[in-house]
Amino acid sequence: MVSRKEVAQMAGVSEATVSRVLNNVGPIKEETKQRVREAAERLGYYPSAIAQNFARRRSGNLGVVLPYVPKVHIFSTYYFSEILNGIGEQVRELGYDMLLIFRKPGLDNGYIDLFRSQKVDACILLGTTDTPEERKALKELKDEGYPFCLVNQHFDDEQFPEVDADHEQGAYHAVKHLLEEGHRRIAFLNGPPQYSNSTDRLKGYIRAMTEAGIFKRKNDFTETIPPAWLGTGNYSRTSGYEAASRFFQNRDCIDAVFAANDRMAIGLMQGFRDLGLVPGVDIAIAGYDDSDGARITDPPLTSVSVPFYQMGKAAAKWVLLRASGSTTDAEETGAADPLYQIQMETNLVIRSSSMSNQTSLE
């Protein structure tokens, strides 16, 4: 193996200069740099990146922590794949690699080891949930000043860097649309409450139904919601399919169902069809995410489009600019601000699943 000494001799510089050039440390004349690089290349000298990184205290990696979801093909879900597409695009532009870290069940020792051990220079956390352990782990990251960002999750009463979408507004528009189509008795199949986007959507649903005079304003709005109208799934197609039979038992008091994502909406549609109700004819359905699936179901699914790609890209840009300490584009990306909190707009896409016979009769 070629040694640093040989490179130094060929370039006519000291060994320390070879290290400084190849590690990009300190000010060195352009001509000297050129000579050292040529000598290193001609001799085939490859200093270990680990040694280089040890000197520079950086890994060149953006960490992306993925949730542990048993049995789910995570790269095949629209939600994660679009966020990863956006992160990937930004990583590529800024010359980083992308380290995917699969979270183990149970939060071992938080996220901080990723930084302490210098496996990553910055980190994006996907699929975090609102639990005491998670809050503790995130507070630790924040207190130590590490560059991290949450995507599509926020924590009430906590100021963490996050790129989110306005899911309350998204749900509000979807339910308002169902109301405008003449539906009144609108059920809501939500996701688990430890995701902030679930609770945000519940707020939007309640706001639209209250404005329409269907729910009454009390101290706790949820008191006036008929229990049969609220369901909880786990964002899987199967959980939507199973919910269909529960709603079906109350079919005489339900005109429409709004589901908190498209996978559950598609499961609902399949479930209703198997029970003899035709979606878009006997019962109206609206979904959320505007995934590829929404365009190709029969009938096509009314859904709320969320800019996941842009959210991933924005989060990656912000954490990487903070990690590099770059002030370029600082204003544009908010990298100068230690607390980056963005909420992007959603957009309702109307298709025929949100119609029904009743609509045309009224």
Binding site for a copy of itself (CB under 8 A): 46, 48-54, 59-61, 73-76, 78, 80-82, 84-85, 88, 91-92, 97-102, 113, 116-119, 292-293, 296-298, 309
* Contact status, residue 252 vs residue 266, Cβ threshold 8 Å: no
**Shortest distance in whole angstroms from residue 72 CB to a copy of itself:** 9
The number of angstroms, rounded, from the C-alpha of 85 to the middle of its chain's C-alpha atoms is 11
Q: Which is nearer to a copy of itself, 100 or 330 (CB)?
A: 100
224 and 218 Cβ atoms separated by less than 8 Å = yes
**241/84 Cα distance (integer angstroms):** 27
**73 vs 217, beta carbon nearer a copy of itself:** 73
Alpha helices in 57-216 (DSSP H): 78-94, 112-116, 132-144, 167-180, 196-211
Exposed e or buried b per residue across 14-51, where buried means at least 16 C-beta atoms within 10 angstroms of its C-beta: eeebbbbbbeeeeeeeeeebebbbebbeeeebebeeee
- With a CB cutoff of 8 Å and minimum separation 6, the contacts of 248 are 271, 272, 275, 277
Nearer to a copy of itself, 211 or 298 (CB): 298
Place of tokens 């995570």: 74
User: Between residues 35 and 119, which has the closer beta carbon with respect to a copy of itself?
Assistant: 119
Cβ–Cβ < 8 Å for 156, 145:
no
Closest distance of CB 61 from a copy of itself, Å = 7
**Considering the complex, what minimum distance in angstroms separates the CB of residue 183 from a copy of itself?**
26
Q: Is the dihedral of CA 332, 335, 341, 343 positive or negative?
A: positive
| Min dist. Cβ of residue 143 to a copy of itself (A) | 13
Whole-number minimum distance, CB 294 to a copy of itself, in Å? 11
Q: What is the dihedral of CA 32, 38, 40, 41, to 10 degrees?
A: 160
Q: Which is nearer to a copy of itself, 42 or 92 (CB)?
A: 92
Q: Are 221 and 206 in contact (CB under 8 A)?
A: yes
Cα 170 from Cα 184, distance rounded (Å): 19
Give 62 or 335: the residue with its C-beta nearer to a copy of itself. Answer: 62
Which is closer to a copy of itself, CB of 62 or CB of 208? 62
Measured CA to CA, the distance from residue 165 to residue 22 in angstroms comes to: 43
- Please give the structure tokens belonging to residue 132: 């005491």
Nearer to a copy of itself, 204 or 312 (CB): 312
Closest CA to 62 of 1, 131, 148: 148
Least CB distance from residue 169 to a copy of itself, whole Å? 25
Q: Which residue, 57 or 217, is less far from a copy of itself as judged by CB? A: 57
Rg (CA), the chain: 26
Considering the complex, state which of residue 139 and residue 251 has its C-beta at the smaller distance from a copy of itself: 139
Closest separation between CB of residue 58 and a copy of itself, Å? Answer: 9
Q: How far is the CB of 251 from a copy of itself (least distance, A)?
A: 26
CB of 296 to a copy of itself, least distance (A): 5
Contact 163, 197 (CB under 8 A): no
Closest contact distance (angstroms) between CB of 76 and a copy of itself is: 5
